[in-house]
């Protein structure tokens, strides 16, 4: 009887310890504001994680840059204050600079091109994140970046007369703009709105859904109709966090994350034109560019690539990206 009691209590203690150890709160940071498509998909993913783990994984989301810019989020993951984040390529590049090979201005023209190239390089890129202590759970899109400004911009000289936002802590991006003769003002993303209000900045590159969600377009109410780049993003968690997740539910966690990423990407692509229409109804003016003007923008943008290939992105990786893009274009030309 005595042995039975000892064994029973030992078993209960083991189960209690196991249950406590397996309960996990994952703090996720994101620049996505509440109510945005990205935030809504993140909430869905968090609910799915809870369901897959029988409530043992709880996700606490910090939206809208409430805990800082993406550079702050990466730093907080490194010291354990955050377990994960939904990052744009700007934040991802702090961990794996090679990601910027997919973000060179004017390198892509269609969704199909970037999907094809990203899918081809995905295993290699994800391995780079693994090697640096992070697990990629999904990939997503922020949208096609356009220029929003206080005054109309059609040619580069128009932009040179305005003060352009650049990400704080990204000297290469600032240098790339300066090569094009632009005046830049570094700011964290959460300070863009106040920067526009105060006149500290006059223009910024942003995806339309972001410009609408953050209400930047109300102050920078001119948009240049030129797709500069397709800003991408991903959900990442630290290896320490990933290793704490019960191996039996990891596949479900990844599946829920991938589904959220796919849904977000589809939603953003479908909503982008609608976002532009809504902004037009509220005072946004769109300025078209001619083919000749677009070529001039592309030539100026390509001049900035040297900043990245000089020290950040291997030149051979850019060559591969362009080769894959051209391969896709050739396939499309053949089928069409």
pLDDT over threshold 70, residue 126: yes
Q: 156-215, pLDDT tens digit by residue? A: 999 999 999 999 999 999 999 999 999 999 999 999 999 999 999 999 999 999 999 999
Instruction: Say yes or no to pLDDT of 294 above 80.
Output: yes
Per residue in 264-285, pLDDT (tens digit) is: 899 999 999 999 999 999 999 9
| Separation CA 271–CA 38 (nearest Å) | 12
What are 66-105's pLDDT values in tens digits? Answer: 999 999 999 999 999 999 999 999 999 999 999 999 999 9
Between helix 247-281 and helix 37-52 the angle, nearest 10°, is 160
User: Which residues of 271-317 form beta strands (DSSP E)?
Assistant: 285-288
pLDDT category, 3, cuts 50, 70, 90? very low
Which residues are within 8 A (CB) of 209 and not within 5 positions of it... i.e. 6 or more apart? 36, 37, 142, 143, 268, 271, 272, 275
Q: What are the CA-CA distances from residue 208 to residues 122, 185, 217 (Å)?
A: 26, 21, 9
pTM of the model: 0.89
Write down all domains in the chain, each with its CATH number in brackets: 22-335 (3.40.190.170)
Q: What is the 3-state secondary structure (H, E, C) of 171-235?
A: HHHHHHHHHCCCEEEEECHHHHHHHHHHCCCCEEEECHHHHHHCCHHHCCCEEEEEEEEEEEEEE
- Phi-psi bin for 152: left (phi > 0), alpha (psi -120 to 50), beta? beta
| pLDDT at site 311 | 85
Please give the Cα distance from 25 to 59 (Å, whole number).
Answer: 6
pLDDT digits (tens, 9 = 90+) for 11-35: 333 333 334 445 899 999 999 999 8
From residue 193, alpha-carbon distances to 15, 142, 169, 218, 284 in Å are 51, 18, 18, 9, 16
Token pair belonging to 101: 């090979």
């Amino acid at each position: 009887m005595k042995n039975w009691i000892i064994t029973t209590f030992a078993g209960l203690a083991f189960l209690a310890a196991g249950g406590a150890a397996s309960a996990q709160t994952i703090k996720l940071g994101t620049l996505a504001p509440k109510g945005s498509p990205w935030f809504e998909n993140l909430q869905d993913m968090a609910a799915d994680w809870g369901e897959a783990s029988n409530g043992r994984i709880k996700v606490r989301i910090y939206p809208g840059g409430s805990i800082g810019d993406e550079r702050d989020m990466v730093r907080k993951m490194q010291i354990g204050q955050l377990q994960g984040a939904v990052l744009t390529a700007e934040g991802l590049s702090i961990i794996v600079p090679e990601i910027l090979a997919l973000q060179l201005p004017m390198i892509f023209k269609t969704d199909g091109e970037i999907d094809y190239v990203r899918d081809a390089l995905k295993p290699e890129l994800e391995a780079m994140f693994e090697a640096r202590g992070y697990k990629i759970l999904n990939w997503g899109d922020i949208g096609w970046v356009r220029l929003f400004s206080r005054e109309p911009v059609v040619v580069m000289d128009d932009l040179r007369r305005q003060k352009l936002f650049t990400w704080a802590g990204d000297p290469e991006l600032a240098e790339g703009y300066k090569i094009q003769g632009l005046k830049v003002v570094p700011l964290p993303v959460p300070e863009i709105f106040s920067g526009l209000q105060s006149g500290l900045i006059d223009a910024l590159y942003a995806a339309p859904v972001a410009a609408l969600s953050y209400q930047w377009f109300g102050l920078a109410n001119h948009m240049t109709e030129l797709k500069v780049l397709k800003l991408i993003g991903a959900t990442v968690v630290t290896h320490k966090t990933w290793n704490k997740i019960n191996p039996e539910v990891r596949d479900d966690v990844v599946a829920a994350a991938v589904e959220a990423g796919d849904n977000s990407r589809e939603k953003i692509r479908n909503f982008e034109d609608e976002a532009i229409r809504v902004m037009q109804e509220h005072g946004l003016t769109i300025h078209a560019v001619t083919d000749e003007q677009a070529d001039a923008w592309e030539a100026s943008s390509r001049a900035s690539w040297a900043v990245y290939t000089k020290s950040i992105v291997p030149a051979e990786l850019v060559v591969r990206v362009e080769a894959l893009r051209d391969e896709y274009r050739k396939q499309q030309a053949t089928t069409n």
